[in-house]
Chain A
């Protein structure tokens, strides 16, 4: 065997050398945080559909009241309790203005001599449900986004300070959290609503009063995990200030977790608003939110189920979409999923 080696032609071998200058070359294009997340969430069909749905609902919340020929606040008593009727679709046998009166089906628009179309019908005061629905959606979304934003800011700052500075500061801050976390969310929300004048501000304060605790705990945990890692130590050795370490090294690393948590705070806030309005502690008439509309619809459930149907549908779609998007983002930001 060994002798045979000599017989091999030397030209079939080529000496190669490792070019050390190429060893550090990055073969894949470098991606920013957002590009990376987008690449992965793109593969998640449910998350993409949810995103489209959310954009649609948000656009409609602003466009809806403008599109409708009727004003949301205007009460036309002669047009009260009309079922939905839409141009074109009416010929298909539904949304044709037919309702039940005294056990008989009849075209209520003809009976009440109404020439106009109310796409989602009208309520007991003759207000256009289509405009009211989208204005209600606007308010519900507004409350949810503001509440989520406040939770985010307070939670990140509180958790960040507690985690980063540690020691006695952390001890004191965590004792406060430990007591607060014991108070059931529901109790705080209801008590605060009782004390304050019912309205948008009261609901937002009630939701955020304990809402930030979850975020602060997560941020603190993440900061604790990252602050003693080598890259932070290296940065500190190179003379980076606390602010720079927090802004350039820690925050980007926990951004994913913060976003995911916010994505789950939003549907939570939407739910609490609807819940409060449903039991009568939320917005007061004539202001409408999805919760108050559902509450109105519930009272008329037996006779005009459509008043309940559309707000419930929008509320449910919003909740499903935010939850699915949250799930999708959680998968997308999970570093274990990186390929």
Chain B
């Protein structure tokens, strides 16, 4: 186990190093200057501004400085917001993104589990087909399509909820959370259904039934718990999906989160914010997947983590 974790963490750092390096050099090849008024400045002024941001130094020096700062947790300064610290910018935007992500994930997984349970316990009935249908819709329809329809009906037509922004407290978070929840809901429902059906046909369930346990007890006490364990494995992909979703959802609902900031930074080529956010996303996703893998080995003793390839 310890050997496995060490190996995984080692790969994690190689991956992060590669991402940081690739991002840095890709940003340098980008067309367009991060200095928005570059064309208006005379060469001397431009030189002063470039010197201020360290853009006048040779590339390897810039790269070395960047990596050195990175190790110390310093992501550099934003070009867009008058030299604001990128780390601070990201932290200041964390709140709304985190709330939406957490609400979407919890809501989606909870409803997904219920739907999946119903489908498995009432296999091949109208309940099963209904929840399978919802799951297919949830997997297929992109969250931004779903979000725009929610916005049109709930906010514009019926005026039940605020159209956008983050000013109405939890009311503002309802629609974006629902839009984000659709993916996790569908994944959880499909997963739990398959797992439950498999578990319900195993020997220990037959034993529990033959000993006279009620079908409710069998379903929830014996089957459900074991069906739930593998759900941990999809948390990694779900987190990635939520991140992708947040980029569009935050834009649709004009929520001051990281996703919205990232897309804006791309539009104005604010290199340091793009690099910082990319690294933040990468660390987040890689870390989630690592934790999920380790967690899975701990929860389910049948899984023996080894150094081998799966």
- A: residues with CB less than 8 A from B are 174, 178-179, 182-187, 190-191, 194-195, 267, 271, 274-275, 278-281, 294, 297-298, 301-302, 305, 308, 312, 315-316, 319-320, 322-324, 327
Contact = CB atoms under 8 A, between A and B. Distances in A.
Interface residues of B, number: 43
B97 interface: no
Nearest to A301: B152
B11 interface: yes
Given A184-B240, A195-B26, A319 B142 contact: yes
A42 B244 CA distance: 36
B139 A194 contact: no
Contact of B18 (A183, A271, A322): A183
Contacts of A305: 152
A273 to B, nearest CB: 11
Chain B contact residues, majority secondary structure: helix
Given A278-B144, A294-B144, A298-B252, A195 B29 contact: yes
14 contacts: A182-B12, A182-B289, A183-B18, A183-B282, A184-B281, A184-B286, A187-B282, A191-B22, A194-B266, A275-B247, A279-B266, A298-B148, A316-B140, A323-B136
Nearest to A297: B148
B286 A182 contact: yes
A320 B140 contact: yes
B175 to A, nearest CB: 13
A260 B30 CA distance: 38
Contact of B263 (A191, A280, A294): A280
B51 interface: no
B251 interface: yes
A324 B244 CA distance: 23
Given A275-B142, A294-B148, A316-B142, 8 more contacts: A182-B12, A183-B15, A184-B243, A184-B286, A275-B248, A278-B144, A280-B267, A320-B136
A76 B284 CA distance: 49
Interface string B6-30: 0000011011001100110011011
Contacts of B30: 194-195
Contacts of B145: 294, 312, 315-316
Contacts of B22: 191
B149 interface: yes
A212 B144 CA distance: 25
Interface string B279-306: 0011001100100000000000000000
A212 to B, nearest CB: 17
B278 interface: yes
Nearest to A171: B309
B53 to A, nearest CB: 19
Interface in B118-151: 136-137, 139-142, 144-145, 148-149, 151
B238 interface: no
A191 B278 contact: yes
A322 B274 CA distance: 34
A191 B19 CA distance: 10
A182 B140 CA distance: 25
A312 B148 contact: yes
Nearest to A281: B266
B156 interface: yes
B12 to A, nearest CB: 7
B152 A275 contact: no
A279 B281 contact: no
A178 B23 CA distance: 19
A281 B286 CA distance: 24
B248 A179 contact: no
B10 to A, nearest CB: 10
A279 B142 contact: no
Interface in B239-257: 240, 243-244, 247-248, 251-252
B144 A275 contact: yes
A194 to B, nearest CB: 6
A280 B152 CA distance: 21
Given A194-B26, A274-B142, A320-B140, A182 B15 contact: yes
Contact of B142 (A174, A271, A297, A301): A271
